[in-house]
Structure 1
Amino acid sequence: MQKDWINELVDLCLTAGISGREEMIRQKIINMLPKDMPYKVDNVGNLIVEIGSGKEFVALMAHMDEIGLLITGIKQDGTLTFKKIGGFDDRLLLGSHLQIITQNGSLDGVIGAIPPHLGGNQPIDNLTIDIGAKSKEEAIKMGVKVLDYAVFKKHVSVLNGKYISVRSLDDRFGCLSLVKVLHKVKNENLDKKVFFVWTVQEEIGLKGAKAFLSCHKVDICYAIDSFACCSQLTGDVAPGNGPVLRMADNSAIGSYSLMMEILQKAERNHIPIQVGVTGGGTDSSVAVDSNARMVPISLAVKYLHSNAEYISLDDFEKLVELLTVLLIEKS
């Protein structure tokens, strides 16, 4: 089931960019904007497009950053020490293949695991990245510096013609959905001012969203982000059943009245939709502190924050359709 946007999504996913180092993914998104569309990059790195006019101010947000590793030092044996950026299971580190991003390009690296022949049970806090250097001097000559970063190497799988699995779908599908919606509504006579915001540093505390909302009045906020499924907490929510209204998580509870409006518009337009509760947090939660109504509009993601993140292809198309309806259709 080849869809014309899959290659765009894969390109975004394969572009590295941890929290605080979103410059490459931001440029990719800028290149995908409608021709001659005005945009700005604010002081912290958020990418912002404003369209429409009216008394109501609506923000759609998707975060550009992904989980990964920040290089903190180079040991005398040539291996690299690191700090985790974002929340993920330490078990992902053992035996992982990495892409290290330096000022001069990228390098391959691995995090090895002690084989069972030698005892196994390697302490996680003693792990280092092996780039094939035999000394600190050799690693430096290879171009590695403190504050370079690493991401897990990414492999793309299309499963049963219905699902796509690749690291950093969180939140590159959200980034692409905003691009697609912007192309659909750019020539519409919108009765509201709409901000399309691609945010930075979501994975380490919603920093970009906080910066944006400190400078912009918003009445309604939709964060387009992942819904971690599938567990006892999240019930029947699953990929393939439509976009998800992420009504409660660890950071905030969405607006019940706004949820009802969204459900009514989805029903009128025959868009399947799910409602659920999960853990974690989204950029939308910051909007509550700014006196805005908010509902995070998500896709169900299996294996979130792992190397096998996985969404439904059809759900993505329904997400774009739903967001377009929310901006165009009158209440």
Structure 2
Amino acid sequence: MKKRGLKNVVPLLLFFFFGISYSAEIPLEKLLEEVFSVPSPSGYEQIMAKKIQNYLPQGLAAERDNLGSLYVTAGKGDQQLALLACMDEVGYIVSGVNEEGYLLLDRVVPAPHPLYDSFHVGHPMLIWTEKGAVSGVMAIPSVHILSREGRQQLQSFSLDQAFLDVGAQSKEEVKEKGIRMLDAVTPFLDLTRLAGDRISGFSLGNKTCSALLLHLVGDIDIGKLKKKTTFVWMAQTNFYSRGSRPRAAMGAHRVKMNLNPENVLIIGIVPVERAGQNEIALGRGPVLAYSEGKGSKLREKIEEIAEKDGIVLQHFPGFESSLMSPFAAGNTSVLTLGLPVKYSSTPVEVLDLKDVLALEKLLSNLLEGEKR
């Protein structure tokens, strides 16, 4: 299923990726816009991986594992540090077409929360076909034409009740548009600018982290790093390894197996709604998140650099995630150094660009220290 979707979509969209400058030549905010515009549902990340590869500095080699994650390694010796970001997002696939030309949808990964699917009803969507992107709208039957029983069923909405209208009136018209079973479907990828330095968009948090890591690779001349450091854009992080307790993201689990690094720094998001007593907020700086009671030299180094450079750090002790759990056992030290995000796992994730720039400065200074 996944291979077919990737094979169909990628060749027709690759023209977007030729003749572009590498990441250090592009301001971070512009690079974010470029990365944000690329679809990357879990299992269909090859377009995003190609985008990232084409922005890497010339001569910098990249490798991919069998899940599709992208690895760039610099420095020598044993594996000292791995910096990880997610490049996948929750998306849909075309699961069927009815006689009237309406598309049926399914997910390849579980919904992040019970209301996730309902957020997209009444909004435009994109179907990524081998002929290019096709527009549609996700809808449900009009309430006023339904029976009482039908209206009651809609009070507990599920994806089975929705359909995607692309303007076709038959299966044949759908086929003429190039739409096939298992084609990937995503919301429109529009970046919305809010007051001040805040921006909003679908899967904005993870895509910002991917763009930040990419900009960092081009900006700091990683060829001069003394210790072995690997930058990873992870695929399939919305799938979970079988039998893992606590849940372990499949992409992160595969990184653990491939690298077994001494230190792991996850460049990720920290939902402000999960912060509880920790009072995490947008615009107050990056978030350093870690397991309760576990200290590390890497954490001390990050705190030292932040204090020296006047970067305010927000702390989230006791933080756990499916990205961190694969590294929790053994001798690996794992931290999340991330962005506070509002409305996580909705189509309107919100973050503050001041936090993004502060995080980039902190990471850049951390890696500059690894050159000495």
TM-score calculated relative to the size of structure 2: 0.80
What residue in structure 1 maps to residue 270 of structure 2? Answer: 227
The match for 1:299 is: 339
1:12-52 residue CA offsets vs partner (Å, 9 max, x unmatched): 11111100101111111111111221111222211111001
**Does 1:92 pair with 2:114?**
no
Quote the residue 2:252 is aligned against.
209
Q: Is the 8 A contact 1:228 1:279 kept in 2?
A: no
Does residue 130 of structure 2 align to residue 75 of structure 1? no
CA distance 1:177–1:274, change in 2 (3 Å): same
- Counterpart for residue 352 of structure 2: 312
Among 182, 191, 205, the alignment partner of 2:217 is: 182
Give the corresponding residue for 1:150.
Answer: 185
Tell me by how many angstroms 1:305 deviates.
1.3
Q: Which amino acid aligns with 1:181?
A: L
Residue 75 of structure 2 aligns with which residue? 52
The alpha-carbon deviation at position 116 of structure 1 amounts to: 4.9
Which residue of the other structure, out of 102, 127, 133, is the alignment partner of 2:168? 133
Greater percentage in helix = 2
Instruction: State how far apart, in whole Å, the 2-side matches of 1:187 and 1:208 are.
Output: 24
Q: After superposition, what is the alpha-carbon deviation per residue over 1:278-327, rounded to whole angstroms, capped at 9, x for unaligned? A: 88734232222464110011100111111211111111111111112222
Task: For residues 121-161 of structure 1, give each alpha carbon's deviation from its aligned partner in whole angstroms, at most 9, with x where no partner exists.
Answer: 63423212111222223212221112111101132222223
Give the aligned residue type for 2:97.
I
**Separation in 1, partners of 2:277, 2:198:** 19
Alignment: residue pair count:
325
Aligned residue type for 1:87: P
**Alignment-mate amino acid for residue 342 of structure 2:** K
Q: Distance in 2 between matches of 1:18 and 1:159?
A: 25
Tell me whether 308-317 or 161-170 shows the greater mean CA deviation.
161-170
Asked whether the equivalents of residues 61 and 199 of structure 1 are also in contact (C-alpha less than 8 Å), the reply is: yes
Cα shift at 1:210? 1.8
1:25 aligned counterpart, secondary structure: helix
User: 2:295 maps to what in 1?
Assistant: 256
Compute the RMSD of aligned alpha carbons. Answer: 2.4
Check whether the contact 2:31–2:215 (CA below 8 A) recurs between aligned residues: no
For 1:4-19, list aligned pairs within 5 A.
Answer: 4-19=27-42
Aligned letter for 1:80? L
- Counterpart amino acid of residue 98 in structure 2: K
Q: Structure 1 counterpart of 2:27, which letter?
A: D
- Contact 1:233–1:277 under 8 Å retained in 2: no
Report the AA paired with residue 57 of structure 1.
Q
Name the aligned partner's letter for residue 221 of structure 1: V
- In structure 2, relative to structure 1, the CA distance for the partners of 1:65 and 1:209 (3 Å cut) is same
Secondary structure, aligned partner of 2:356: helix
- Secondary structure class of the residue paired with 1:143: coil
SS at 2:96 equivalent: strand
* Aligned equivalents of 2:366, 2:295: Cα separation in 1: 16
After superposition, residues 26-65 of structure 1 pair within 5 angstroms as 26-65=49-88
Q: C-alpha distance in 2, partners of 1:271/1:146? A: 49
- Per-residue CA deviation, residues 250-275 of structure 1 (Å, 9 max, x unaligned), is xxx69432434322221122211111
Structure 2: gaps (5+ residues): 1-25, 241-248
Partner of 2:132: 105
CA distance in 2, matches of 1:57, 1:46: 19
The residue matched to 1:307 in structure 2 has which SS?
A: coil
Q: What is the rounded CA distance, in whole Å, between the counterparts of 1:17 and 1:128 in structure 2?
A: 21
Q: Which amino acid aligns with 1:130?
A: D
CA distance in 1, matches of 2:182, 2:222: 42
SS at match of 1:182: helix
Aligned partners of 1:227 and 1:278 also within 8 Å: no
* CA shift in 2, pair 1:188/1:214, >3 Å: closer
Distance 1:91 1:49 in 2: 38
Helix, strand or coil for the counterpart of 2:258? coil
> Could you list the runs of 5+ residues in structure 1 that have no partner in the other structure?
none
Moved more, 171-180 or 260-269: 260-269
How has the CA–CA distance of structure 1 residues 56 and 47 changed in structure 2, closer, same or farther, with 3 Å as cutoff?
Answer: closer
